Chains A and B, each alone.
Chain A
Amino acid sequence: MVSRWMYISLVILYGFLLGPFIIIFMASFGANATMAFPPQGFTLDWFANVFETSQFIDSFWISLQLALLSTIVSLIMGMPVAYALVRFRFAGSGIVETVFSAPILVPGLVIGFAMLNFFVLLGDMHVMTGLFIGHTAILFPYSVRVISASLRNLDPYVEDAAVSLGANRLRGFMLVVLPNMQAGIAAAFVLGFITSFNNVPVSLFLSGPGVTTLPVSMLSYLEYYFDPTIAALSTLLVIFTVVLVQAAERVLGLSQFV
């Protein structure tokens, strides 16, 4: 009996997880002028419409650049912080850790609103610069956390071992610590990229005229139209994300970590 109930709840769970995607996926091929399920007819027009809408194409490139740049910068800044937090206990290291987790704990809308006000105070700032700073700030705690986790699994004495065998501190770090952080860095990269690429609340506040991220464009498109173009775009984004994660796993060896 237990196993039957478990089986039923599993089906329900999967239904709720995958159901919406299946509906969106099917609706994106429907010939109706508005979103409908079950779809009637078959057309690729909505996909064509995605590529013909310059707003989507422009904001896709902005989101892509933004996600890549802010992920890489947050990784570069996160690595030394993670290293210091894992290897050394110093006065106030607990406070530092808490402050670095704040962007995970504070609601995104609050962060976006606060940053908008802060950047306005700072004066004339390019919209892209604002978006870049905002995204880097929200990704930073993720990269610190994920890289810290991979470092905690590494015996702290391996560095001493490398030094006792004749490597200087820097060389020991490069030859022994860095290779073992690789999986953590890869995981932080994928997580950071997806977090930035999907972010709405912070981007909503920091976007400006002509500079909008893809999720924000999608949201504003939905305010005016209810045709399946968004469904087609969503289908494309799911495929894009799956391909990206697969590629990252191949190239960076994510599977060792997850």
Chain B
Amino acid sequence: MPYLEIHDLTVSYEKNQPTLERFSLDVEQGELVSLLGPSGCGKTTTLRSIAGFIRPDAGQIVINGRDYTFLPPNQRDIGLVFQSYALFPHLTVFHNVAFGLRMRRIPKEEVHSRVANALKMVGLEAFADRRPAQLSGGQQQRVALARATVIEPQVLLLDEPLSNLDARLRVDMRQEIRRAQQQLGITTLYVTHDQVEAMSISDRVVVMNQGDIEQVGTPESIFATPETAFVADFMGFDNHFSAAVDSVHDNQLTVNWGGAPIQLPWRSKFGSPQAGARAEIFFRADNASLAAGSEASGLAGRVILHTFHGNERRYLVETEVGEFSVMQDSAGERFEPGATVTLQPNTQKWIAIIE
């Protein structure tokens, strides 16, 4: 039986405008599941409903067999980490972390040892007497994590916890959160709009759009095989074009790409597509390569922009089918803007989505 069950959760802030429409999700004990989506997709609403700050219009939330749906938020056993950290500015780090234990009337000695352990876990033993304003953003985030986990909650909820940190610190904190979560074996929901963050930290990712689930799966499966155009776009497939399906053979279909047939895998929520159906084709910039001149087999084009990214160069190539972004190893040949090139697809990593 799943540890956290959400059944048909419906929340609307305004009449007839549901922010969340019959949202259902099961999370296993100790699992870390990310809710990924653009702002306004309902991910934070889901989190705040589980925390008890939003009263759902319909649906049910069950944690460890107990119905949480209408339990007041202060009686739920849930750890919450906020985007803004929401540390108590007038209390020291120690008292911030101890707050939840004090509310639970835990004896003083136990409070001391548990807070000490929590601070040790996040590497802030030496900062117990500081005020939040005397800490860096990353340290404040660690305090917030310690404060939410020291109460040993049944579920840990993190709401965009890293979005106020700079890029490098985000990567470090991501690993720290994941390590702490696995060490404590705590069931966790993690809200983010950053697909890289969601993939790197999660056991499973839930991609959300406008209050609905687009796709649920392991980071690997969502990365490689998006099932909807929204997911493909959101998961960083740089290139997109539409084409009519010529023929279908089992897992592969054939479309016409600038005069030549190409074969690629397909996905559909509505069964096998018919010839003539419209396919939305997506591919990443690194799943195509460039050859000099127009003699090689592939699609002829012209380089219109070149940008350098360290290990790779990214080219924008204009073809008769459209403009495509292509990533090449920077050790290889460099093409200047205006150069004639041939675009060679690695179609087995492309995806055709029928909607």
Contact = CB atoms under 8 A, between A and B. Distances in A.
A and B bind: yes
Interface of A: 154-155, 157-158, 160-169, 171-172, 175-176, 179-180, 182
Contact of A164 (B80, B87, B88, B90): B80
A180 B131 CA distance: 13
Contacts of B79: 164
A115 B185 CA distance: 67
Contacts of A179: 90
Contacts of A180: 88-90
A180 B86 CA distance: 13
Interface in B41-85: 51, 53, 72-76, 78-80, 82, 84-85
B14 to A, nearest CB: 14
Given A154-B89, A179-B90, A180-B89, A164 B84 contact: no
Contact of A161 (B76, B88, B90): B88
Contact of B74 (A157, A167, A175): A167
Contacts of B103: 165-167, 171
B100 A165 contact: yes
Interface in B148-180: 148, 151
Nearest to A161: B86
B146 to A, nearest CB: 12
Contacts, number: 64
Contacts of A164: 51, 73-74, 76, 78-80, 148
Determine chain A's interface SS by DSSP, over half rule.
Answer: helix
B23 interface: no
A55 to B, nearest CB: 46
A118 B100 CA distance: 53
Contacts of A165: 74, 99-100, 103, 147, 151
Nearest to B99: A165
Contact of A157 (B73, B86, B104, B151): B86
Contacts of A166: 74-75, 100, 103-104, 151
A165 B97 CA distance: 10
B88 A160 contact: no
Contact of B99 (A162, A168, A182): A162
Given A164-B74, A179-B90, A157 B99 contact: no
B68 to A, nearest CB: 13
23 contacts: A155-B85, A155-B89, A157-B82, A157-B84, A158-B86, A160-B82, A160-B86, A161-B80, A161-B86, A161-B147, A163-B53, A163-B73, A163-B74, A164-B74, A164-B78, A164-B80, A164-B148, A165-B99, A166-B74, A166-B100, A166-B103, A167-B103, A180-B90
Interface string B289-331: 0000000000000000000000000000000000000000000
B84 A155 contact: yes
A171 B88 CA distance: 14
Interface string B180-201: 0000000000000000000000
Contact of A158 (B51, B87, B104, B148): B87
B104 A160 contact: no
Contacts of B89: 154-155, 158, 180
A90 B84 CA distance: 24
Contacts of B147: 161, 165
A182 B90 CA distance: 10
A169 B148 CA distance: 18
A168 B75 CA distance: 9
B243 to A, nearest CB: 48
Nearest to B153: A164
A163 B75 CA distance: 9
Given A157-B82, A157-B84, A166-B74, 18 more contacts: A155-B85, A158-B89, A160-B53, A160-B73, A161-B147, A163-B73, A164-B76, A164-B80, A165-B74, A165-B99, A165-B103, A166-B151, A167-B74, A168-B72, A171-B103, A176-B88, A179-B90, A180-B88
6 tightest Cβ-Cβ pairs between the two chains A and B: A166-B103, A165-B100, A157-B86, A161-B86, A164-B80, A179-B90
Contacts of B99: 162, 165, 167, 175
A136 to B, nearest CB: 29
Contacts of A157: 82, 84, 86
Q: Which residue, of B75, B76, B90, has the highest number of chain A Cβ atoms within 10 A?
A: B90
